[in-house]
Amino acid sequence: MDISVHGRTRHYRTVTFDSTRNTVCLIEQRLLPHCFKIVAMPDFRATARAIRQMIVRGAGAIGATAAYGLAQGARAFRGANPRRFSAHLQLVRQTLQQARPTAVDPVNAMDAVLRAMPAGATVPEQQALALAAAEEFASQDVRHCAAIGRHGEKLIRPGARILTHCNAGWLAFVDIGSATAPLYAAQQAGKKFHVYCGETRPRCQGATLTAWELAGQKIPHQIIADSAAGHLMQRGEIDLVIVGGDRVLGRTGEVANKIGTYTKAVLASRHRIPFYVAIPLSTIDWNLRSGRAIPIEERDPAEVLGAWGLARGLPAMTYFRIANLTSGARNPGFDVTPPELITGIITPEGIFNPRDLWKNRHRLGHPG
């Protein structure tokens, strides 16, 4: 997306790679919307920390970051022993995979890099192939999001009122985004519509990130409390829900996404409002057979007990405790929405009933 910083406008991707310094370069998303900053991760362990600490977040973005992180770790290896190189790669892969266990994009991204590497006869050749494969994954993510926009745009009628949840915009991918792709395509088609950004507690990515994106694109929008969605649906003020996904089971159509997605789906079903999930192909898990098997990340209780913000007189983002001082909290980061609550899955290959993913698996990138 094009971003104006200090009076200059240029195109940015959420994640890029500096091959000269062997660094993964990321937008520091925790500072948004108050500050736009690019940070460089010097090694694969720092790249894994950036994923875990949510400097970078979102399915496609952490997928690309993991792919670049694997290439980064591969290129840092010194020596020519294939066995030691292979052991080093496994360490790098494990470190990156453990950073955010619920999302499947990092696993699929790193597997794509590892599949490309054996074509090289030497360690240096494999290192070069690793970076080329990571670059291809990042570019493919952009192409997939653009295709999602083309397919999803037809769902948005003029005057539509659309609810989003969390951030599945360009910040959550390499560019364009998944849930926002139909919005951007509809805007380019000249359609007028309004977006409600669910705030998405506890980290408020809807209020901080999605709203910042839409403001930059001049798309009419308002932020609502998560608990206000049902009220607006009951009054007929929401026509369509589009969310992203962090892991979609190809065998069952179940969708793991940011906590609160299931609640929105139940509300949409109750009020007969279409509920769509927009994903690139890298978000599909073809192996797990039940949503119960998806690892649900439990995050720091401090996210629920307080909030980060920018206060007058303070030079940097500050954490403010909101909750009662002696109370604890539970903080599951994701929930799982069953297929019967989902109207369709918007993919680069078209829109599918969630129960039809498996029978269309070869079209949807199944590796078998």
- Concatenating the DSSP letter of every residue in 107-132 gives HHHHHHHHHHGGG-SSHHHHHHHHHH
> Residue 315: its pLDDT value, please?
65
Question: Which of 105, 141, 226, 246 does the annotation list as catalytic?
Answer: 246
* b/e code 94-114 from CB counts within 10 Å (16+ = b): ebbbebbbbbbbbbbbbebbb
User: How many angstroms from the chain centroid is the CA of residue 166?
Assistant: 9
The conformation of residue 297, written as its DSSP 8-state character, comes to P
What is the chain's alpha carbon radius of gyration, rounded to the nearest angstrom?
20
Sign of CA dihedral 114, 115, 118, 124: negative
Which pTM value belongs to this model? Answer: 0.96
Which H or E element spans position 55? none
> Residue 5: its pLDDT value, please?
77
Domains and CATH numbers, the chain: 2-145 (1.20.120.420), 148-360 (3.40.50.10470)
246: annotated active-site residue: yes
Question: Over its length of 368 residues, how does the chain's per-residue pLDDT go in tens digits?
Answer: 888 877 888 999 999 999 999 999 999 999 999 999 999 999 999 999 999 999 999 999 999 999 999 999 999 999 999 999 999 999 999 999 999 999 999 999 999 999 999 999 999 999 999 999 999 999 999 999 999 999 999 999 999 999 999 999 999 999 999 999 999 999 999 999 999 999 999 999 999 999 999 999 999 999 999 999 999 999 999 999 999 999 999 999 999 999 999 999 999 999 999 999 999 999 999 999 999 999 999 999 999 999 988 877 766 788 999 999 999 999 999 999 999 999 999 999 999 999 999 999 999 999 87
Spatial distance between the Cα atoms of 355 and 337, rounded to a whole number of angstroms: 13
Spatial distance between the Cα atoms of 251 and 263, rounded to a whole number of angstroms: 23
Please list the helix, strand and coil fractions of the chain in percent, rounded to the nearest 5, in that order: 40, 20, 40
DSSP, collapsed to helix, strand or coil, labels residue 169 as: strand
Parallel, antiparallel, or unpaired: how do β-strands 350-352 and 344-347 relate? antiparallel
Q: Across 28-124, where does the E strand assignment appear?
A: 38-41
Residue 308's Cβ-count burial label (10 Å; 0-12, 13-18, 19+) is middle
The conformation of residue 315, written as its DSSP 8-state character, comes to S
Residue 10's Cβ-count burial label (10 Å; 0-12, 13-18, 19+) is exposed
> Residue 7: its pLDDT value, please?
81
